[in-house]
């Protein structure tokens, strides 16, 4: 917590600047670590946050809870243990039992309750098919809201889940989604389209950019037509604005919403990038994509597999490119990006301001700081 407090205090104009890829997520937010369906009643499940092993335990009755995934005795994973009829998890090695608060309630071969040391317990919530933990200061957990997620539970939308793992720092993913100027990368999936930047909004903890798109060549992909409707061929002329795409980072989460020409929300994406390793250069994305059902809902059901394949191919192209960026960062020994798009520059500032420099981070030299500016 001391490092985090220091980082918050050093956010003024004269504060040192750090390589963005050495800035960790602020732990004082709710982060998804598993899908609800993965943690079955009476079972424990292994998860991870930024190098910290997490055991998720779901009793037969009662809410799921989260503990450090190391028995206080021999540091064996508690997620390998057994959940008893009281809802406690028993270590698979010697049977030490821990309750929802992380207290050791039984050392069976001593028949005493006051011997074993406790393990860390994490505030834990379940919402929208996800299990969240609060890895920061537990005293702050109740004051920080668990995020609202896409249109989960709204019967007017159909929602799919995705959670790919990426070999890159989480900040690369924020930049990738926010920057709609990389559509050339997706030309094989999308055809030739051009992004039109419509404007941006900024706040203390958020940045939003808005775009529309014009097709310059090629046919509209089937999956796109199923979501947005068929666009008419204007014989080479520039298409009018028919949908507005809004990408928003509200730290630490990111959303993408598409509204049609009448202002109706037709697609809603929510995603959180969970850092897995200590240096946060491996990321697990937890995303939910909601699509508005057409008048004849069965048409979306029929198209759902094609839509899933389409979005998977798009994401695989993004995955390859951000992992190449991460590899270049590693080979060059730091961030050499030369960013010219104001939206991405503002996003980098937002992520740097709200994140926490990790223990390996060194202040950038003055020349590098001026280049960032």
Better-predicted residue by pLDDT, 131 or 303: 131
Percent of the chain with pLDDT over 90: 61
Q: Tell me: pLDDT of 236 over 60.
A: no
Decide: 327 and 202 in contact? Cβ < 8 Å. Answer: no
Region 228-242 average pLDDT: 51
**Per-residue pLDDT band at 238 (split at 50, 70, 90):** very low
Same domain, 40 and 170: no
CA 309/CA 329 separation, integer angstroms? 30
Region 369-373 average pLDDT: 50
CA distances from 258 to 34, 193, 204, 228 (A): 27, 16, 24, 9
Decide: 45 and 55 in contact? Cβ < 8 Å. Answer: yes
Q: Does 310 fall in a domain?
A: yes
Residue 338: which CATH number? Answer: 3.90.380.10
| pLDDT, tens digit (0-9, with 9 covering 90-100), for 314-341 | 888 999 999 999 999 999 998 888 889 9
Same domain, 175 and 296: yes
Range of the domain at 266: 157-372
Q: Does 341 fall in a domain?
A: yes
Q: Does 19 fall in a domain?
A: no
Same domain, 294 and 340: yes
Region 114-133 average pLDDT: 93
How confident is the model at residue 201, as a pLDDT?
96
Count of other CB atoms within 10 angstroms of residue 37: 10
Q: What is the DSSP letter of 17?
A: P
Q: Tell me: pLDDT of 301 over 90.
A: no
Domain boundary among 94, 112, 143: 143
Give the phi and the psi of residue 145 in degrees, each rounded to 5.
-70, 145
Q: What is the DSSP letter of 289?
A: E
Same domain, 187 and 130: no
| Token reading at 304 | 């759902």
Q: Does 221 fall in a domain?
A: yes
**Per-residue pLDDT band at 6 (split at 50, 70, 90):** very low
Decide: 32 and 274 in contact? Cβ < 8 Å. Answer: yes
Same domain, 220 and 90: no
Same domain, 94 and 185: no
Region 159-188 average pLDDT: 90
Better-predicted residue by pLDDT, 137 or 295: 137
Same domain, 171 and 122: no
Decide: 245 and 258 in contact? Cβ < 8 Å. Answer: yes
Q: Which of 17-31, 70-84, 124-138, 300-314 has the lowest mean pLDDT?
A: 300-314
Q: What number of CA atoms fall less than 13 Å from residue 159's CA on the CB side?
A: 19
Q: Does 193 fall in a domain?
A: yes
Q: What number of CA atoms fall less than 13 Å from residue 44's CA on the CB side?
A: 27
How confident is the model at residue 2, as a pLDDT?
38
Residue 64: which CATH number? Answer: 2.102.10.10
Region 202-207 average pLDDT: 95
Decide: 327 and 319 in contact? Cβ < 8 Å. Answer: no
Region 11-17 average pLDDT: 58
**Which among 213, 211, 212, 230 has a CA at the least distance from the CA of 221?**
230
Overall domain count for the chain: 2
Predicted structure pTM score: 0.88
Domain boundary among 98, 116, 143: 143
Q: Tell me: pLDDT of 103 over 70.
A: yes
Q: Tell me: pLDDT of 199 over 80.
A: yes
Residues comprising the chain, all counted: 373
How confident is the model at residue 3, as a pLDDT?
41
Residue with tokens 């071969």, as numbered in its chain: 109
How confident is the model at residue 226, as a pLDDT?
57
How confident is the model at residue 302, as a pLDDT?
82
Same domain, 289 and 362: yes
**Which among 284, 295, 344 has a CA at the least distance from the CA of 319?**
284
Same domain, 199 and 308: yes
Q: Does 151 fall in a domain?
A: no
How confident is the model at residue 299, as a pLDDT?
78
* Mean confidence (pLDDT) of the chain: 86
**What is the DSSP annotation of 67-92?**
EESS-TTT---GGGSEE-TTS-EE-T
**Per-residue pLDDT band at 46 (split at 50, 70, 90):** very high
How confident is the model at residue 26, as a pLDDT?
97
The neighbouring-strand residues paired with 196 are: 212
**Per-residue pLDDT band at 9 (split at 50, 70, 90):** very low
Q: Does 9 fall in a domain?
A: no
Domain boundary among 143, 169, 188: 143
How confident is the model at residue 367, as a pLDDT?
55
How confident is the model at residue 220, as a pLDDT?
56
Q: Tell me: pLDDT of 77 over 90.
A: yes
CA 280/CA 112 separation, integer angstroms? 40
Same domain, 170 and 104: no
Same domain, 197 and 309: yes
How confident is the model at residue 113, as a pLDDT?
66
Q: Does 214 fall in a domain?
A: yes
Same domain, 125 and 163: no
Decide: 169 and 358 in contact? Cβ < 8 Å. Answer: no
């Amino acid at each position: 917590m001391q490092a985090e407090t220091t980082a918050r205090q050093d956010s003024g104009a004269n504060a040192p600047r750090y390589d963005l890829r050495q800035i960790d997520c602020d732990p004082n937010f709710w982060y998804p670590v598993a899908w609800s369906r993965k943690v079955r009643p009476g079972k424990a499940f292994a998860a991870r946050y930024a190098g910290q092993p997490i055991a998720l335990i779901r009793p037969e009755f009662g809410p799921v809870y989260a503990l450090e995934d190391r028995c206080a005795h021999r540091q064996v994973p508690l997620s390998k243990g057994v959940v008893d009829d009281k809802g406690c998890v028993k270590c698979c090695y010697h049977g030490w039992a821990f309750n929802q608060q992380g207290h050791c309630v039984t050392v069976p071969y001593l028949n005493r309750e006051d011997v074993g040391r406790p393990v860390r317990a994490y505030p834990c919530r379940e919402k929208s098919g996800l299990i969240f933990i609060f890895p920061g200061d537990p005293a702050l957990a109740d004051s920080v809201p668990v995020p609202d997620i896409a249109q989960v539970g709204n019967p007017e939308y159909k929602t799919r889940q995705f959670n790919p793992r990426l070999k890159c720092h989480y900040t690369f993913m924020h930049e990738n989604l926010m920057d709609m100027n990389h559509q050339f990368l997706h030309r094989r999936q999308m055809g030739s389209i051009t992004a039109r930047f419509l404007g941006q909004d900024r706040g203390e903890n958020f940045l939003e950019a808005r775009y529309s798109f014009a097709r310059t060549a090629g046919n509209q992909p089937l999956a796109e037509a199923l979501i947005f409707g068929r666009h008419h061929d204007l014989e080479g002329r520039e298409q009018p604005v028919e949908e507005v795409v809004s990408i928003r980072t509200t730290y630490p989460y990111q959303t993408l919403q598409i509204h049609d020409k009448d202002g109706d929300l037709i697609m809603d994406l929510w995603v959180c990038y969970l850092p897995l390793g200590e240096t946060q250069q491996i990321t697990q994305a937890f995303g939910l994509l909601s699509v508005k059902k057409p008048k004849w809902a069965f048409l979306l059901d029929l198209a759902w597999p094609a839509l899933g394949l389409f979005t998977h191919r798009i994401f695989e192209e993004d995955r390859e490119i951000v992992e190449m960026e991460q590899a270049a960062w590693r080979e060059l020994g730091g961030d050499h990006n030369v960013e010219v798009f104001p939206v991405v520059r503002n996003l980098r500032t937002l992520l740097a301001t709200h994140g926490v420099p990790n223990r390996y981070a060194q202040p950038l030299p003055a020349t590098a700081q001026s280049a960032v500016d």
